[in-house]
Amino acid sequence: MKTKKPVLSRSYLYKTIVLSTSQLVLAGCSNTMSAKQAEPPASRPAYEKIAEHYLLNTSFTAQGQDERIRFVILHYTALNQADSLAMLTGPQVSTHYLVPENPQWRGGEPVIMQLVPESKRAWHAGVSSWGGWRALNASSVGVEMVNRGYTELPSGWRQWYPYTPQQIKAVSILLKDVIARNQIQPYNVLGHSDVAPLRKSDPGPLFPWKQLAGMGIGAWPDPQTVEKHLAGRAPKQAAVVLEVQQSLKRYGYDQIPQSGELDEDTRKTISAFQMHFRPADYSGNADAQTEAIAKALLEKYRQ
């Protein structure tokens, strides 16, 4: 909704400018600021009638500010379309965007559902952390994709449901816009399993992170840098566990233990990292290729 700005008369404008400069000198907020410098640009009124019952002086801008939204977090719903929508519009969990399995296309553009405006918090991340940030609902945009997740086979293996090409196309169009508008860094485009690796597996190993990175969405290591850090070792050769733990923590996985042991929490976190950056094997082993990918990402994004 737009608020009408009032037309200020010449005498009123003069009065407010005189008032504002004298007030600033008296307040002495900055010792170096002279009354002359403190005058707002002539093209803008000193006080604007934006709100009711008071005037706002918007002629100064603080340097100390940043974007409220820093992260985008991707999920699968593990439900069909109807159940996904029912769950995400109920009282428990929610998301900013819901991308159907087979989106409608109108005039060449996908129809994506918005359930929460970006200016509000959606409840999608739960207990979560990344790179020193906690409780990421407050600082992220949530994107849920209708996908059934996985079926656990009697052997204990998980059979994952693939994403449809149309859904991935729609998601990529949405993400490009969300990332550009909110100026989200590549290493802050994340899966739920990245920010809650001890309890979440979505969006799972079939989500095509590499394909999206090729379109300028999210982070991906440079192959030659991975090769350099592999340093002639076989990809599956065991790496020093503490080395992998430290690298993943520095990259953002701040829940990973720093124990030097391949304990359960370490294994789950390494597995989450592998689902994102090496989905062909997400066993959670601390191997040379995993270490090399982590170090290549650090070199590219976390210097």
Q: How far apart are CA 185 and CA 179, in angstroms?
A: 8
**What are the structure tokens assigned to 205, written together?**
């190993």
Taking the least distance from each CB to Zn ion, the nearer of 75 and 267 is: 75
Question: Judged by CB under 5 A, does residue 192 bind Zn ion?
Answer: yes
Taking the least distance from each CB to Zn ion, the nearer of 74 and 293 is: 74
Count of chain residues binding Zn ion (CB under 5 A): 3
Q: Is 144 a catalytic site residue?
A: yes
Catalytic residue among 118, 144, 152, 227: 144
Stretch that binds Zn ion, among 19-27, 73-81, 228-236, 283-291 (CB under 5 A): 73-81
CB of 193 to Zn ion, least distance (A): 8
Instruction: Specify the pairing of strand 109-110 against strand 105-106.
Output: antiparallel
Q: How far apart are CA 61 and CA 248, in angstroms?
A: 37
Taking the least distance from each CB to Zn ion, the nearer of 125 and 270 is: 125
**What are the structure tokens assigned to 38, written together?**
């403190």
Q: CB-hemisphere CA count at 13 Å for 141?
A: 25
CB of 31 to Zn ion, least distance (A): 51
Question: Judged by CB under 5 A, does residue 202 bind Zn ion?
Answer: yes
Taking the least distance from each CB to Zn ion, the nearer of 206 and 242 is: 206
Q: How far apart are CA 232 and CA 100, in angstroms?
A: 44
| Beta carbons of 94 and 144 less than 8 angstroms apart | no
Question: Judged by CB under 5 A, does residue 276 bind Zn ion?
Answer: no
CB of 124 to Zn ion, least distance (A): 6
Considering only residues 38, 45, 71, 75, which one is a binding residue for Zn ion as defined by CB under 5 A? 75
Stretch that binds Zn ion, among 85-93, 175-183, 192-200, 231-239 (CB under 5 A): 192-200
Q: At what angle do helices 264-277 and 288-301 cross, to 10 degrees?
A: 70
Taking the least distance from each CB to Zn ion, the nearer of 55 and 93 is: 93
| Beta carbons of 285 and 222 less than 8 angstroms apart | no
In this structure, how many other beta carbons lie within 10 angstroms of the beta carbon of residue 228? 13
CB of 150 to Zn ion, least distance (A): 13
Report the largest interatomic distance among the alpha carbons of the chain, rounded to a whole angstrom. Answer: 83
Catalytic residue numbers, as ranges: 144
Q: Which residues of this protein are in contact with Zn ion, per CB under 5 A? A: 75, 192, 202
